[in-house]
Amino acid sequence: MNQIKKERLTQLDFFRAIAIIGVLHVHSTSVATTEAMNTSIYYLFNFLNIFFKYGTPSFIFLSSFVLFYNYYDRPLTGKLIGSFYKKRMLYILLPYVLISALYFWYKLAQRGQLDDPPLQLLGDYWYAITHGSAYTHLYFVFISVQFYLLFPIMLALLKSQRWVARWAIPIGLALQWGFVIWNKYDLHYATKGSLAISYFSYYMMGAFVAIYFKPFRAWLMSKWTDMSERQRVSTILLWGTWLVTGLIYVQIWYSARMTNEWLDSLVYELMWNVYTMLSSLVLLHSAFILNRIAPKWVLAIMRRLGELSFAIYLVHPFVLAYYRETREFLTLGTLGYFIWIYGGMLCALIISAVFVQMVFRRVSFSWVLLGSIPASLSGRHKNKKQAKSNSRTTKTDAVKRPIP
C-alpha cells in the first residue's frame, strides 16, 4: 500500500480553540453553580456551566479523528507503531506525569500535608497518576493515554474489517453504554469518568468521520448556496437538533439544582452523550465556516489559541485557583459577582495563553511539561521559512546571474 499524503486541515486549530473556550467556561463557572443559587441570574450561570460542556468530549472526538485521519491509509508496520508510541510517551505521557506531580504538590501544600511520610506520599501520587486524579481536569489526559494504548489495535481492526469501520458509531455506543449500565447496576466503579470506555462513542465517531472523510469534506467545504438539498436538510437537522438537545440538557440540570429533585442518572448521561456528540460535529462545521468568513485577525488569534490549547488545558487551573483567592477581598453585588466569575474565565484564558506561549518561545525543553511545541513557535519553523527564503533567493540569483 502506498502512503497517501493527507491534506493538512488548518481548520482543526479553530476547532481546538472553540473547544478550549468551552472547557474554560465550565471550570470557571463551577463555583457559581453552588454559590449563586439565590441570585436572580442563576439560570445564566447554570447555562454557561452546562451548555459549554461540549469541550472535553469534543477534544476526545478530535483526538481520534486526527489519529485515524493521519494513520488509516498508512501501512501498519512495526516502525510506524514504534514512532507513534515514542511521540505519545514524550509529548503526552511525560508531561502528564510531571504536571500531575505539580498539582499533587499544590494540593498537599493547600492541605498542609507536605510533611506526611515519604512512602505514603509516593503511594498517593502513584494512585493519582494511575487514576487521573492528581487534579480535577487531568482525567482527560489519563483517558487519552488509555486510548493511545488501544489505538494500534483499533487501527488494525478497522483497517482489516471494513464492516467494523462502517458500523463504528453504533459499536462505540454499544460498548460505552454497555459499560455505563453495567457500572450503574453491578460494578459501581466510583471514577468511571477516568476510564476511556466511558467515551468510546466519541472515539469511534472520530474514527468514522476520518475514514469516510471525503463526503464529510464536501459538506464542510461547501457554502450554503453551493450545498445540495440533501446537505442543506442535514445541516438544518444537525444544528437544530444540537440546539434543542443542548437547551433541554441545560433545563434538566437547572430544575434539578433548584429543586434538588433528580432524575435517574442515566437520563443526564444520555442527554450529555447525545448533546456532546452533536456538538463535536457542530464544532467541526463551525471551524470550516470560520475559515471561510472570519476576518484574518480573528483567524490568527483562533489559530494560535488552538495551537496552545493542550498547554492551556494543563495550566489553567493554577490561574483559576489563584484568581479565586481575590474573592475574600471583594464585596460584590449580583452584577459584580457575574463580572468576577467571567473575569476568572478571561484570566484563565489570557494569562494561560500568554504564559505558555512565552515558555514555548524561550524554553527549548518546555515540551517536557507542556507537550509538543507548536511548529509556529519552534526554531524549526523559522529554519524552514529561512530555507524557503534562501531557496527563492538562490533561484532568483541564478536567473539574474550572467552566463560566463
Alpha carbon distance 45, 200 (integer Å) = 29
88, HSE (Cβ side, Cα atoms, 13 Å) = 20
pLDDT, residue 5, reads 65
Percentage with pLDDT > 90 across the chain? 88
Q: What residues contact 194, with CB distance under 8 A and at least 6 apart? A: 131, 132, 133, 139, 142, 143
Does position 131 have pLDDT exceeding 70, yes or no? yes
**pLDDT, average across residues 215-226:** 95
Does position 389 have pLDDT exceeding 80, yes or no? no
Q: Which three cell numbers stand for residue 107?
A: 494540593
Q: Name the band, by pLDDT with cuts 50, 70 and 90, for residue 383.
A: low
Secondary structure (H, E, C), 112-145? CCCCCCHHHHHHHHHHHHCCCCCCCCCHHHHHHH
pLDDT, residue 331, reads 82
User: What are the residue ranges spanned by the domains of the chain?
Assistant: 11-373
Q: pLDDT tens across 267-290, in order? A: 999 999 999 999 999 999 999 999
pLDDT, residue 327, reads 87
Does position 399 have pLDDT exceeding 50, yes or no? no
Q: Which of 233-247, 301-315, 376-390 has the lowest mean pLDDT?
A: 376-390
pLDDT, residue 401, reads 36
Does position 91 have pLDDT exceeding 60, yes or no? yes
Q: pLDDT tens across 4-41, in order? A: 567 889 999 999 999 999 999 999 999 999 999 999 99
Does position 402 have pLDDT exceeding 60, yes or no? no
**pLDDT, average across residues 49-69:** 97
Q: Which of 86-100, 157-171, 367-381 has the lowest mean pLDDT?
A: 367-381
> How high does pLDDT run on average in the chain?
92
Q: Are 266 and 184 in contact (CB under 8 A)?
A: yes
Secondary structure (H, E, C), the chain? CCCCCCCCCCHHHHHHHHHHHHHHHHHHHCCHHHHCCCCCCHHHHHHHHHHCCCHHHHHHHHHHHHHHHHHCCCCCCHHHHHHHHHHHHHHHHHHHHHHHHHHHHHHHHHHCCCCCCHHHHHHHHHHHHCCCCCCCCCHHHHHHHHHHHHHHHHHHHHHHCHHHHHCHHHHHHHHHHHHHHHHHHHHCCCCHHHCHHHHHHHHHHHHHHHHCHHHHHHHHCCCHHHCCHHHHHHHHHHHHHHHHHHHHHHHHHHHHHHHCCCCCHHHHHHHHHHHHHHHHHHHHHHHHHHHHHCCHHHHHHHHHHHHCHHHHHHHHHHHHHHHHHHHHHCCCCHHHHHHHHHHHHHHHHHHHHHHHHHHHHHCCCCHHHHCCCCHHHCHHHHHHHHHHHHHHHHHHHHHHCCCC
Q: pLDDT tens across 160-176, in order? A: 999 999 999 999 999 99
Does position 373 have pLDDT exceeding 90, yes or no? yes
Q: pLDDT tens across 316-344, in order? A: 999 999 999 998 888 889 999 999 999 99
Q: Are 353 and 296 in contact (CB under 8 A)?
A: no
Percentage with pLDDT > 70 across the chain? 92
Does position 404 have pLDDT exceeding 60, yes or no? no
